[in-house]
Structures are given as C-alpha cells and as structure tokens.
Amino acid sequence: MQTIAVYDTTLRDGTQREGISLSVADKLKITRLLDNIGVAYIEGGWPGSNPKDEAYFEAVRLVELKQAKIAAFGSTCRKNSAPETDPNIIALVEAQTPVVTVVGKTSMLHVTEVLQTTPEENLRMIRESLRYLKSLGKEVIYDAEHFFDGAKLDVEYALDTLAAAIEGGADMLVLCDTNGGTMPWEITHFVETARQAFPETPLGIHTHNDGELAVANTLAAVRAGVVHVQGTINGYGERCGNANLCSIIPDLELKMGYQCLPAAENLRQLAFVSRAVAETANLAPDNHAAYVGKSAFAHKGGLHVAAMRRNIHSYQHIDPALVGNEMRVLVSDLSGQGSLLSKAEEFGLDVSQAEAVAVLNEIKALESQGFVFEGAEASVAIRLHRARPDYKPVFTLIDYTVIVEDRQGRGGLSEAMVKIDIDGDIIHTAAEGNGPVNALDLALRKALLPRYPQLAGFQLADYKVRILDGNNGTAATTRVLIDTQNAHHRWSTVGAGTNIIQASWRALVDSVEYGLRLAHDEPAAEGASAAVG
C-alpha cells in the first residue's frame, strides 16, 4: 500500500479564514489533536509575521509528539538580499523546527508585477534561500505558489522555478493552486509535466476551494503521482477555504487504497477531531460535511430507512464507524413506519407496528401544523412512550393561566398558575417569572418537585423561537424548540401553534416528561440520550 504524507496547515492557512483567530493555547490543543490522529506534518504558522506564531513555536518545543513533525512557514529572501541576513529567513531558523516550508513565486505575473523583480533574481531568491536552510540541516519543503496559473502563462519558467528549488536542495516540491480556479484535468496535466521534468524529486499538492474543486483536484494530483497532500481540518482557509483533509484522508484510504494515517484506529478519530477543531475555533461544526458531519449518515426518507432496515449498506457508501461517525434515523413527515420502529429500537422501546403507525400519523399531522421533529427527538421518544398500552402519564393538565402585566414604576410582571392531576391528587401552584414561559416553567416545577425531586437537576439550556408564516403578522404560527439538560444528558423538544405560550407549554411538557423517564429508566435511555443530545 503506497503511503501519502499528510501535511496539515490548519494553524497557518486555516487561520486565514474570516472569523477564525486562535490563541497559542488553541494552537497547541489542535497540535495534539493532529498528532494523535497521525498526520505527518503540522505547519504551525509564519514565525516572521506575528508574535503569536513566534510564541507558539517556542511553546510547542515542550510538547511531546508521537509522530508529527512541526514545520515553520515563510517566504524566500527578499530581492537583492542574502538569506542569512533576511529577517524572514532568520525567523524561520529561530523557530527551531525540524522542517521549514518556503514559498516562492512561480508565476511570471507575480515575479514582474508583485515582486517587481527580474525572472533571474526570483530564481536566485528561491535557490539561495533553500540552499541556506538546507545547509543548517533542515528538511526543506518548497511551496511553488501559483504553480498551475504560472504554468498556463509560461510553463518553461514555471519549471525553471522548480529546477531552482531542486538546486537549492528542496526535499519536496509542492505544486500550489493558490487561486483555487484550476480544473482537475489541468491539475493532472501539469503534475504529469512536472513529474516528467523532475522524475527524481517527490511532488506534493496544495489546493484551494474557490472552484469547489479542492478535494477533487487533490485526488487528481495523487492519481497523477504526488505523494504529499496539504490541506486543513474542515477545509478552513482564506476566501472559500483550503482542501478539506476530513474528506481527502478517507477518500484516499477507503476509496483509493492509499495509506495516510498509521492505522485504521486513527481514521476512527476523524469525526471527533473535526468537531473538536471546530469548537476550538469557535465555529459551529458543519453538520452536512462529508464523512464527519452529524448529518453525513442521517436518513430521513421512509423509503431509505425501510431499505436500511433490510441492509445497512443500501443507502450508505461506507460504514460510518470507519471515520468515527454514526448512522442516524430522522423522523419527519417524510418518514415511514420503519423510521419509527428504528427510533423505538434506538430508544430501547418495544413498540408494535400498530403503535409505530399511530405515532407516525400523529407526527405527520403535527408537522403540517408547524412542528419539526428531526431536531427534537425527545418529543419523538415521549410520543413512542405514550403509544404503549402500559403508558401512565407523569401528570395530567387541568388548566393553566398566564398573566402578563406592565405597571408604571414596576416594569413587566409575569405570573403563571398551574393546576395538574398527579395520581388523583389535584395540585394548584403559582409562580412569578421574568417572562411568561419562565413563570409557567417555575409553576409547573413547583407542582411536580415534591413528587419528582429529580426536576431540581433540570436546566433550560436553549430556547429558540421561529416564526413560520410571517405574512400573518402577530397571528403567525410559532415554532418553539427547547433544549434541556441535567448532569449527564441533553435533550430537545418541540411545540408549535399560533399561541407562543401554548407552543412553549407543549415543548415544556415533553421536556419534563422525557427527562423524568430518562432519570427513572437510565439503562434503557442511554442510547436515546446520545441521539437526543
């Protein structure tokens, strides 16, 4: 099995994405994640560009890495200067990394208009910068910036820059699609051109996603002979992003037969690493990302779920466990009875076909009124409980009243009164809150707590309101999603209606009842809590 070296540039190129700013501690955390998964190289930053990257290179020396080599990134020396006196080259040396990655100009447009120098001087800058760093015992990777655009303009000069890098002692020539606009067949053509010109020097690929082709272009380059791929976790990067290693690695390993990581166990960490890096970067994980997204193996259509119950491979291109992900069944108005039976199994419930059909019909009717259950699986679970012949409600509502006042000099006041029946006992409570839903929640808790002390550990984690038909103004249908959590679990419930208080009450009742059943029957609910959370 041929090995492809994975070079991660999340900490440098990835941070050029709008909205990402990593602290030194963040970068060290991501470094450990990348090393644990088994990438070959971690590009830590550009030590000559900012103090934070300099601090990272100093701190990372104390981190014990299992496999990855740390690379410092920088440009060639400036025109008409010697590398040993160039501040950027000096910063690369002072970073004290075993690997340095040097970027140089390949395109004649950049040589003459950006650097404003001669083609010969650019070749000298490349050759002498690499030669100096190589003389210090560094592993030197050369990033040929704008290689593909440069080759289209003047292929002979583009190859001359690669020759200069080889003369300087480059260990790896990385061909860069810096503007991200090259097509896969162009990638193939120019990689093969470079291989024919320099058959003894290994090639790498670095692509950007401006044409939504970064992954495809990387795979095309590997097929054409590169042995080193650069990219970022989740495809983070400037403009439209870099090549996404969370897609490239499983594509290469599971579909193309290459080895990128040391063992299959490393690949099974991929989904975790994707989400952990997203959280560290303070970005929401992309649920629809290939391989690692929460929805990557989520099945909603009833036809699909029915087929999956017969053969798990019928609507999945791989086993999700290979990348550390899991299959999920979503329940909605598109579902069939198989979806409900699958959810019942997931929640540890023994539900008959008739009961599943009854719940499915209820869900379809409610979704036509504005409910959405695919993001509120605790509401699905509690309806499956209610469909069982031995179901006994936690309580029965007799009535509730909510009063909202706005008195001069006192501000807003919300008060709720709740009357419920618990096993024949009529309990009537009232509570004030900072809003009508809060008051209703407090009044219900006050009524239930003497009988169900577990409620004291329930906390409202999130409360979302969405207006579904804004054309109706204040009479619009409102959907409410409530997230509740205790010390061990988090679950989501839904309510909807033209009355926001009533919609909130329905979500609140589902939340309380599900949470109490979760606490009462913990072993059966373990699998459900993971799916619901």
Per-position DSSP letters for 8-46, written without gaps between them? E-TTTTGGGSTT----HHHHHHHHHHHHHHT-SEEEEE-
Phi, psi of 531 (to 5 degrees): -70, -40
Provide, for the chain, the percentages of residues in helix, strand and coil under a 3-state DSSP scheme, each rounded to the nearest 5: 45, 20, 35
Q: Which helix (H) or strand (E) holds 420?
A: strand 411-422
Beta bridge partners of 174: 143, 204
Mean pLDDT to the nearest integer, 388-411: 82
Total Cβ atoms within 10 A of residue 510 = 25
Which region among 40-44, 97-101, 272-276, 522-526 has the lowest average model confidence (pLDDT)? 522-526
What pLDDT does residue 529 have?
A: 38
524 pLDDT higher than 50: no
Q: Is the dihedral of CA 368, 373, 378, 384 positive or negative?
A: positive
* Token pair for 203: 């090639």
Q: Which amino acid is at 188?
A: T
Total Cβ atoms within 10 A of residue 396 = 11
What pLDDT does residue 354 have?
A: 83
Q: Which helix (H) or strand (E) holds 121?
A: helix 119-135
The C-alpha atoms of residue 38 and residue 1 are separated, in whole angstroms, by 17
Mean pLDDT to the nearest integer, 206-228: 98
- Encode pLDDT of 131-178 as tens digits: 999 999 999 999 999 999 999 999 999 999 999 999 999 999 999 999
Give, in order, the Cα–Cα distances in Å from 18 to each of 6, 13, 239: 24, 11, 8
Mean pLDDT to the nearest integer, 1-28: 95
Quickly list DSSP for 471-528: GGGGGS-EEEEEEEE-SS-EEEEEEEESSHHHHHHHHHHHHHHHHHHHHHTHHHHHHH
Q: 527 falls in which pLDDT band (50, 70, 90)?
A: very low
Beta bridge partners of 140: 100
E strands of 272-318, at which residues? 298-299
428 pLDDT higher than 90: yes
What pLDDT does residue 409 have?
A: 60
What is the chain's Cα-based Rg? 30
Which region among 107-116, 121-130, 254-263 has the lowest average model confidence (pLDDT)? 107-116
pLDDT top residue among 305 and 37: 37
Give, in order, the Cα–Cα distances in Å from 478 to each of 131, 384, 506: 67, 24, 12
Q: What is the largest CA-CA distance in the chain?
A: 94
Burial class (CB in 10 A: 0-12, 13-18, 19+), 9: buried
Mean pLDDT to the nearest integer, 459-470: 80
Which region among 15-19, 333-337, 348-352, 450-454 has the lowest average model confidence (pLDDT)? 333-337
90 pLDDT higher than 70: yes
pLDDT above 90 covers a percentage of the chain that reads 59
465 pLDDT higher than 70: yes
What pLDDT does residue 525 have?
A: 38
Total Cβ atoms within 10 A of residue 298 = 17
Q: Which amino acid is at 257?
A: G
Q: 351 falls in which pLDDT band (50, 70, 90)?
A: confident
Structural domains of the chain, ranges and CATH numbers in brackets: 5-280 (3.20.20.70), 298-386 (no CATH), 396-532 (3.30.160.270)
Whole-prediction pTM = 0.73
Average pLDDT of the chain is 88
The C-alpha atoms of residue 348 and residue 528 are separated, in whole angstroms, by 8
The C-alpha atoms of residue 330 and residue 37 are separated, in whole angstroms, by 30
- Encode pLDDT of 165-205 as tens digits: 999 999 999 999 999 999 999 999 999 999 999 999 999 99
372 pLDDT higher than 80: no
Q: What is the DSSP letter of 201?
A: S
Rounded to 10 degrees, what is the CA torsion of 319, 320, 324, 326? -130
